[in-house]
Amino acid sequence: MKLLVMKNLFKIPVDVSELRTEYQTENALGQIIRKKIRFFRPDHKFVRNESESEIHVSDLNVFIKGNQILKNVNLTIPDKKITCIIGPSGCGKTTLLKTFNRLTDSVEGVKITGKILVNGEDIIGSGAEITRLRRKMGLISQRPCPLPMSIFDNIAYGCRIHGIRNRRKLKLIVKHYLEAAGLWEEVKDRLRTPAVRLSIGQQQRLCLARSLAVEPQFILADEATSSLDPISSKIIEELFMKLKQNYSIIMVTHTLRQALRIADYVIFMYLGEIIETGNADQVFNHPQHELTKKYLSGAFS
């Protein structure tokens, strides 16, 4: 059963496991940012060291309390593309996404078999370094969850706890990531106000900025726009379209129209199985499997 707590100050219900993960991610910031800061320039661009970032999944099975949730999953997530995971409710989309950063570890009674290779390194099994893995995976959840502090501090928090005190450097970092998330112009005059005063759409972009600050290679987004108004959703979609130049974006979406708009690559799931994968044009316009055809025609949702 999920535990819920209330953030005292703002009365926002927060999933404890989600909060813990966010803080773990923040804790992982230090070394990366410290390293980056030495060379940090205002004209810093997102340039990744790795030439390729791919996820290869083979024979993945996930059981929760004896129930098989994911069944013999085999797939490859392409680099620098938007991959949309689609399928009816309960088919295992979130579970699959959670396996990519080992969030499944916190699920009671979970058993996982198979392989998930992230840049060639198997992340299933006891040898995997979870903190390093999560650093690579920026996570954007359905409901934005800003830290209970100012807009500025939401981004600077990770830097400070790892010893970066220089105000000028902190300002550069905060500006850089707020610009990357398309929020700078809207908040530059109120950086010291509490982040929770932002609109929900702005909060989601703040969370995106905070995720980008760990310099991930992948962005995992589970229905990241479902709690947003149409304009905010469009802004996030447009950001993803820009960010895919440097990141591999994996997005779970319930909205077929959204997948049609932004997906480069599509994974269609049904009852824990991968039914069809392929380039968006191929899956949407020439689906091979009867189930995919039915789902796309709206026969079930």
Ligand X SMILES: Nc1ncnc2c1ncn2[C@@H]1O[C@H](COP(=O)(O)OP(=O)(O)OP(=O)(O)O)[C@@H](O)[C@H]1O
Tell me which residues touch Mg ion (CB under 5 A).
94
Query: 236, 225 in Cβ contact below 8 A?
Result: yes
Residue number, 25 or 95, with CB nearest to ligand X: 95
Query: 95, 69 in Cβ contact below 8 A?
Result: yes
Residue number, 36 or 102, with CB nearest to Mg ion: 102
Question: What phi, psi does 73 have (nearest 5°)?
Answer: -80, 130
Residue number, 69 or 259, with CB nearest to ligand X: 69
Q: Which amino acid is at 168?
A: R
Would strands 82-86 and 265-270 be described as parallel, antiparallel, or unpaired? parallel
CA gyration radius for the chain? Answer: 19
Q: How far apart are CA 84 and CA 177, in angstroms?
A: 24
Q: Is 95 in the site for ligand X (CB under 6 A)?
A: yes
Q: Which residue is nearest to Mg ion (CB)?
A: 94
Supply the DSSP symbol for 197: G
From Mg ion, ligand X, none, which one binds at residue 95 (CB under 5 to 8 Å depending on kind)? ligand X
Please pick, from the candidates 107, 124, 256, 260, the single residue that binds ligand X as defined by CB under 6 A.
Answer: 107
Q: Is 93 in the site for ligand X (CB under 6 A)?
A: yes
Minimum Å distance from CB 273 to ligand X?
12
With 0-12 CB in 10 A as exposed, 13-18 as middle and 19+ as buried, what is 145? buried
Minimum Å distance from CB 86 to ligand X?
9
Minimum Å distance from CB 107 to ligand X?
4
Q: Which of residues 60-79 bind ligand X (CB under 6 A)?
A: 64, 69
Residue number, 159 or 249, with CB nearest to ligand X: 249
Minimum Å distance from CB 156 to ligand X?
33
Q: Is 91 in the site for ligand X (CB under 6 A)?
A: yes
Q: Is 46 left (phi over 0), alpha (psi -120 to 50) or beta?
A: beta
Question: What phi, psi does 82 have (nearest 5°)?
Answer: -95, 115
Query: Which residue, 272, 193, 217, is CA-closest to 32?
Result: 217
Query: 60, 70 in Cβ contact below 8 A?
Result: yes
Q: Which residue has the tokens 């501090």?
A: 153
Q: Is 89 in the site for ligand X (CB under 6 A)?
A: yes
Q: Which of residues 215-254 bind ligand X (CB under 6 A)?
A: 254
Q: Token pair for residue 292?
A: 């995919």
Minimum Å distance from CB 269 to ligand X?
7
At residue 245, the 3 state secondary structure works out as: coil
From Mg ion, ligand X, none, which one binds at residue 89 (CB under 5 to 8 Å depending on kind)? ligand X
Range in contact with ligand X (rule: CB under 6 A) among 92-100, 146-154, 239-247, 257-265: 92-100
Minimum Å distance from CB 43 to ligand X?
40
From Mg ion, ligand X, none, which one binds at residue 91 (CB under 5 to 8 Å depending on kind)? ligand X
Residues binding ligand X (CB under 6 A): 64, 69, 87, 89-95, 107, 254
